[in-house]
């Protein structure tokens, strides 16, 4: 996706089994405009089915913001131009956060700065969140007359309900350290160490059987609110039990070597 100056607003690269998605609008704190929205949907859609991708990582450019949410200036210009505001879960396009949530491979959000509004919702849609120690997380929609549709559903399921409702009602940010305390992020590291920490974590996942990780994602997402007995019978995602990788994993254990996964 490109801005009017032809500078990419979103970069999508695949290197060594990892899809790297980078929001690249640092001048507006990597805010989401229509081009970025479509780019995220298309990038995750490709990563979801691309056999060369085993893990997905998303981050932002610079040290100010992972993503400040929707580009409100662009929204205001659309309003002045008389364009209809798109209500969540309506319209012809897939919901951006569902596109991330329904990518059945490990997804990691690397929070290089503030994650506000839609930016936090984007991070919530990922499986793992690694944050720089100066990052702040916030759903400010109550101060903007918006709705945080995705966040209002996901947040109370991920952290204690009272803390989630406080974040929603007050629209005040929490620090990375507070987010770590409540389990909203998995790790907090100095900004200087963020890229290396994220890369090492992603590489560690590649040592594990990719079909098993995909199976975990299917089962965890699809069985989230199901009764245990029902979830156990989902049999969702690839079946690692009958895969070539299962035989390879057992063989590698017996031979005391690292397995050579094929995702088959």
Sign of CA dihedral 211, 194, 135, 159: positive
Own/partner long-range contacts of 24-27 (Cβ < 8 Å, ≥24 apart): 24/60, 24/61, 25/61, 26/60, 26/61, 26/62, 26/64, 26/65
Residue from 121, 172, 225, 244 carrying the catalytic annotation = 121
**From the candidates 3, 52, 141, 258, which is the catalytic residue?**
141
73/79 Cα distance (integer angstroms)? 10
Beta-bridge mates of residue 175? 136
Six-digit token pair at 106?
Answer: 């490990």
Helix (H) or strand (E) holding 214: helix 210-222
The DSSP H or E segment spanning 11 is strand 10-15
User: What is the C-alpha separation between 81 and 24, in angstroms, rounded?
Assistant: 26
Active site residue 52: no
- 141 as an active site residue: the answer is yes
CA distances from residue 35 to 40, 153, 207 in whole angstroms, order as listed: 9, 25, 34
Enumerate the active-site residues: 121, 141
């Amino acid at each position: 996706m490109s801005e009017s100056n032809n500078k990419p607003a979103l970069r999508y690269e695949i290197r060594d089994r990892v899809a790297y998605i980078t929001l690249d609008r640092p001048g507006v704190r990597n805010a989401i405009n229509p081009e970025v929205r479509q780019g995220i949907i298309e990038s995750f859609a490709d990563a979801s089915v691309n056999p060369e991708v085993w893990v997905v990582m998303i981050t932002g450019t610079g040290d100010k913001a992972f993503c400040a949410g929707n580009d409100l200036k662009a929204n205001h210009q659309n309003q002045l131009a008389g364009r209809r505001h798109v209500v969540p879960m309506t319209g012809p396009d897939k919901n951006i956060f569902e596109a991330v949530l329904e990518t059945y491979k490990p997804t990691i959000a690397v929070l290089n700065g503030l994650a506000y509004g839609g930016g936090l919702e984007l991070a919530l849609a990922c499986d793992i969140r690694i944050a720089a120690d100066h990052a702040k997380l916030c759903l400010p929609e109550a101060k903007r007359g918006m709705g945080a549709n995705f966040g209002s559903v996901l947040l109370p399921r991920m952290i204690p309900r009272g803390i989630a409702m406080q974040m929603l009602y007050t629209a005040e940010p929490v620090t990375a350290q507070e987010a770590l305390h409540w389990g909203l992020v998995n790790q907090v590291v100095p900004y200087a160490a963020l890229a290396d920490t994220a890369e090492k974590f992603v590489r560690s996942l590649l040592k594990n059987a990719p079909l098993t990780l995909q199976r975990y994602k299917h089962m965890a997402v699809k069985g989230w609110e199901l009764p245990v007995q029902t979830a156990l019978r989902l049999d969702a995602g690839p079946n690692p039990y009958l895969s070539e990788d299962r035989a390879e994993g057992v063989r590698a254990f017996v031979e005391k070597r690292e397995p050579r996964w094929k995702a088959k």
